[in-house]
Amino acid sequence: MCLKKNEIKLQQLKGRTKILDLFENGKVFRSKKILIRLKKEEKLPFLAVAVAVSKKNFTRAVDRNYIKRQMRVALKKIEGDLCFSGACFVLYTGINLPKSNTLPSLMKELFKKMGD
């Protein structure tokens, strides 16, 4: 079921129980640099999202924060194209710093695959 554009709003994913439930019952979708764990819930009017970057690949906190900020901006750009609600955890698995213009296209492609 695809809702109308701009009906789905993004929120922060908060709470230990919600995150644990997402990891236990969510489905995993991958692209070359992004991993998304998703649990769809039709009754919610929003998509709760958390973003993360591995400390193993990026030891400097400055780099991790930069990537997380770029991922949040990319999510805001594709917010109008989302057609499902629920909870989502986005993990950057790449080794190099991403270019800011590549993340939105990668995320849009991956979210489109999840919607089908």
Domains of the chain (ranges, CATH numbers): 9-115 (3.30.230.10)
Give the whole-angstrom CA distance, residue 2 versus residue 22.
21
Residue 67 has pLDDT above 70, yes or no: yes
pTM: 0.84
Taking each helix axis from N to C end, the angle separating 102-115 and 61-77, rounded to the nearest 10 degrees, works out to 60
Report the DSSP beta bridge partners of residue 37: 28, 89
Task: Report, as an integer, the average pLDDT of 40-61.
Answer: 91
For residue range 69-89, what is the model confidence (pLDDT) as tens digits? 999 999 888 888 888 888 999
Token pair 């009906």 is at which residue? 7
Predicted confidence band at 4 (pLDDT cuts at 50, 70, 90)? Answer: low
Q: Whole-number mean pLDDT of the chain?
A: 87
Compare 25 and 83 and report the one with higher pLDDT: 25
Task: Report, as an integer, the average pLDDT of 10-39.
Answer: 91
Percent of the chain with pLDDT strictly greater than 90: 47
Predicted confidence band at 93 (pLDDT cuts at 50, 70, 90)? Answer: very high
Give the whole-angstrom CA distance, residue 116 versus residue 110.
10
Residue 99 has pLDDT above 70, yes or no: yes
90's CB contacts (< 8 A; 6+ apart) are: 34, 35, 36, 49, 50, 51, 52, 71, 75, 107
